[in-house]
Structure 1
């Protein structure tokens, strides 16, 4: 099976509620859809949500990278030549990890379809179902409390609370949510790089002393402050997770060698696709560090790919794959099945995706 053509388009999907963090506010998810057509007539699907504040990638840069660099280098290559394809993705250009991830996912989808195997089984087949947390956007404490209550009523047992805008408000937000949902709901906090190291230690210790029972705090300091992240990790009892700091395979190696964090959040759009994410997971496993399968605001294409990785690998212990449940519509035919917090992996080959509706042309 050889790569015959690579098509790209854009799909607009409104969110049920605005998604608000310390870095950005989003009301409509704009997802670039990649379709790789093979000479056998089979198609593989990938996606790339432009995320300027995190990956630095936008519509134009993703489209240009795929059309001008990746497509000419990949047309005519056999899907079986995975190692050569990964080499092209890794060495053809610097950065552009979202474009690389979209193509990588589509190639894996085709590979699974060629051999009639679901990706989660190809990656290890540990489980066919997952449980995800749900993100509670950054808002006033009373609004976050209400959102948390609604999430619990829908069956979520773990919530990721966005913090980082204002420390005093953060304290009120966390306390309001904890008091509203009770002691049996798992709370994870995501500061999105908002604090300085000593500031982070102080506020996390206050939550520990107050009995807030926080499972983990994600990326409390700047992404490039590895020493600061280690300082926080070494001075609190709560587990610290690296997210924006864990961007490349080398980043993960450095974090693990420094013991700068307790956990790693692996996101395909940061990693440049599944092949690098697999390397990250292998390193974390060797270091005895658990990982989370995370996502951006993307369609079910990327969610299915990330869920397949987690379902295959034992070191992937936590799921933050709620993006598709945050969307008001689902244009993707096939893929992972959602019942709020529960994700069921498809048994169809590859990603189990047969098409994406509402895709419009995307110009560079």
Structure 2
């Protein structure tokens, strides 16, 4: 299975409601899609959103580096050598994590198709192992949380109640606008719906270490149970993360501070986080994410699999990774496709509100994508 063509396209899906965090407001899922063709007729898909405030990647920068650097590197490669190809992809140029992620996803989609395995099983193969089989044709299943955007309290409560009515039992609540308002809103929200769901807080770097400890103590004093607090301080404030982690019983999760394996080793060694959030757009794709999950398993550090505001192509790959590395990835935050008004992707992974179904189709199992606009 030899790569003969690589094409780029755009895919846009409007959101049900605007996605609001302390960093940005977004009204649609806007993905750059990578389509890799082979000499034997198989097609592999990958995608990436633009997240310049987080990864530094825009679609224009991705398009340029893919066309000028990555396509010449990949053309003519044999999909049998996907792990080696991915290693070259990571080494040829620094940064450009989202572009690398989109390409790695498409490569591993083809790798699964080559071995007639769903991606999660293909990721469990070693160089010496025979292809694995699941023993059944029933789809595998994951349960995801859903994001409640930062908003006025009444809107957040309405969004939470709607999510609960749809079967979500874990809410990831965005905060970080004003500390006192954040605390009051979370306490009110918990008292209104906390018995029905678990609540995670995502601060998106908006608090200081002292503010985080103050908020955590307020929650404890008011008998508000918070499952975790995600990235409360600036990404480079590792000492702040360590200070918080040492002083509160609420688990602290690193997100923007945890892009690559070296950063995560540093966090673990300094005991600066209780949980690590793995996202394919941060890790530059599947290979680094696998390494991080394996390392965290060796250190008994639980992981969450997360996503940016991205569609079902990349999120499908993240779901397969979560299933393959379920011993370390114990928390699922893959609600991106559920936030869209529809899913333009047919086949493979089905995103049904809180439930994610993974079929045993080869690779990602994608059979069609509506609305692709080729560049």
Same fold (TM over 0.5): yes
Check if 1:141 corresponds to 2:153: yes
Instruction: Quote the residue 2:50 is aligned against.
Output: 50
Pairing partner for 2:371 from 333, 358, 363: 358
What per-residue deviation string (whole Å, max 9, x for no partner) do you get for residues 166-191 of structure 1?
A: 01110122122212213241000000
2:296 pairs with one of 281, 284, 306: 284
- Structure 1 CA distance for aligned equivalents of residues 356 and 286 of structure 2: 19
**1:291-346 deviations in whole A, cap 9, x for unaligned?**
00100111110111000011111110000000100001211121311221011112
Q: Do 1:134 and 1:160's aligned partners in 2 also have CA atoms closer than 8 Å?
A: yes
Q: Distance in 2 between matches of 1:147 and 1:70?
A: 41
Partner of 2:191: 179
Structure 2 spans left out of the alignment, 5+ residues:
125-132
2:213 to 186, 192, 201: 201
Q: Which residue of 1 aligns with 2:4?
A: 4
CA distance in 1, matches of 2:103, 2:339: 24
Matched with 2:14 is 14
Query: How far off is 1:355 after superposition?
Result: 2.8
User: After superposition, what is the alpha-carbon deviation per residue over 1:221-271, rounded to whole angstroms, capped at 9, x for unaligned?
Assistant: 001111111111111000000001111121111111211100000000000
Quick check: 2:115–2:122 contact (8 Å CA) kept in 1?
Answer: no
Check if 1:101 corresponds to 2:101.
yes
Q: State the match for 2:162 in structure 1.
A: 150
> For the Cα contact (< 8 Å) 1:301–1:335, is it kept in 2?
no
Distance 2:93 2:303 in 1: 27
SS of 1:19's equivalent? strand
The 2-side partners of 1:330 and 1:64 are apart by: 27
What runs of 5+ residues in structure 1 fail to find an aligned partner?
A: none
* Equivalent in the alignment of 2:113: 113
Provide the rounded CA distance (Å) in 2 between the counterparts of 1:181 and 1:304. Answer: 30
| TM-score scaled by length of structure 2 | 0.94
Question: What residue number does 1:38 align with?
Answer: 38
Deviations, residues 193-235 of structure 1 (Å, cap 9, x unaligned)? 0011111111111111211100000000001111111111111
> Are the counterparts in 2 of residues 149 and 180 from structure 1 also a CA contact under 8 Å?
no
Whole-Å Cα distance in 2 between the matches of residues 182 and 232 of structure 1?
24
Counterpart of 1:74? 74
Q: Establish whether residue 213 from structure 1 lines up as the match of residue 217 from structure 2.
A: no
Q: CA contact under 8 A between 1:300 and 1:335: conserved in structure 2? A: no
* SS class of match (2:80): coil
Q: 1:325 aligns with which of 323, 332, 338?
A: 338
CA offset digits 1:81-107 (Å, max 9, x no partner): 123212221111111000000000000
Between the aligned partners of 1:290 and 1:169, the Cα distance in structure 2 is: 30
Question: Structure 1 CA distance, aligned partners of 2:61 and 2:338?
Answer: 27
TM-score by length of 1: 0.97
Q: Is the 8 A contact 1:117 1:348 kept in 2?
A: yes
CA drift at 1:286: 0.8
1:280 Cα offset (Å): 0.5
Residue 159 of structure 1 aligns to a residue in which SS? strand
| Other structure's SS at 2:8 match | strand
Give the aligned partner of residue 242 of structure 1.
Answer: 254
Asked if structure 2 preserves the Cα contact closer than 8 Å seen for 1:141 and 1:172, the reply is no
**Which residue in the other structure is 1:336 paired with?**
349
Partner of 1:227: 239
Q: In 2, distance between residues paired with 1:117 and 1:43?
A: 15
Q: Distance in 2 between matches of 1:33 and 1:114?
A: 21
* Distance across 1 between alignment mates of 2:120 and 2:7: 25
Match of 2:26 in 1: 26
User: 1:120 touches 1:345 (CA, 8 Å); kept in 2?
Assistant: no
> In the alignment, does 2:311 pair up with 1:299?
yes
**Conservation of the 8 A alpha-carbon contact between 1:129 and 1:345:** yes
Partner of 1:251: 263
